[in-house]
Structure 1
Amino acid sequence: MQSIPVDVSRLGVLRCAVAPEPKIANFDTGEVKKDKEGNTVYTVGVMVRQEARRVSVIEVAVPGEQPGVVEGVEVRITGLEAFAWAMGDRHGVSFRASAITPAPARPPAAPAKGGDR
């Protein structure tokens, strides 16, 4: 499976839509997925807003717990990669990142200058 690096600077505002949850490797046994280093893999639902009101939610797999990533918080994604996959007649794109962290708080917007007439 070929990985495609994603330029996150072109994705617009990123916000956690679904808090990190351990990714299940086997639903019958409840086995949790681990990466090559033995870290639990988590899935995070990330809302991507690119243009005005257009919003998409992508699920991103990430190794280890992601402290501070909770529903509603703006996030930064490091090392985002996309993977095209196909299984029989099903196909899609999955996403993986090396880390998801809360974005630094933005300062409040300054009031508009100019006088009321």
Structure 2
Amino acid sequence: MQSIPVDTTRLGVLRCAIPPEAKISNAETGEVKKDRDGNTVYTVAVTVRQDRRRISVIEIAVPGEPKGLEEGQVIKVTGLVAFAWAIGDRHGISFRADAITPVHGSAAPKGGAA
């Protein structure tokens, strides 16, 4: 699988839609996914809005639990890469980042995410 670097400066405003959740690798056993270094992999749902267009939601996997993320908060994503995948008739794009951090001074709006 080839990784494709993503220029986050072209993605517009990134906001946390759903705070970090541990990624499950086996739904039957509840086993939590680990990276090759043994860190638990977390997923964060992120809203992306470019140039006043409609909002898209992507899930980004990140090693270790990102701290301080709240729903609706503006975030910074470091080292974002995309991976195209195909399994049988199913296909899609998955995202992974080195880190996801809150942007200080960007309190979440009252009443939830934008």
TM over 0.5: yes
The AA in structure 2 aligned to 1:27 is: A
How far 1:51 sits from its partner (Å)?
2.1
Pairs within 5 Å for 1:102-113: 102-105=102-105
Structure 1 equivalent of residue 36 of structure 2:
36
The root-mean-square deviation of aligned C-alpha atoms, in Å, is 0.9
Pairs within 5 Å for 1:1-117: 1-105=1-105
Identity fraction in percent: 69
Structure 1 segments of 4 or more deviating over 4 A? none
Q: Which runs of 5+ in 1 are unaligned?
A: 107-117
TM-score, scaled to structure 2: 0.90
2:9 aligned counterpart, secondary structure: helix
TM-score, scaled to structure 1: 0.88
Deviates more, 1:17-26 or 1:97-106: 97-106
Q: Which runs of 5+ in 2 are unaligned?
A: 107-114
Q: Distance in 1 between matches of 2:86 and 2:93?
A: 9
Q: Distance in 2 between matches of 1:15 and 1:50?
A: 12
Figure out how many residues of one structure are paired with residues of the other and give that number.
Answer: 106
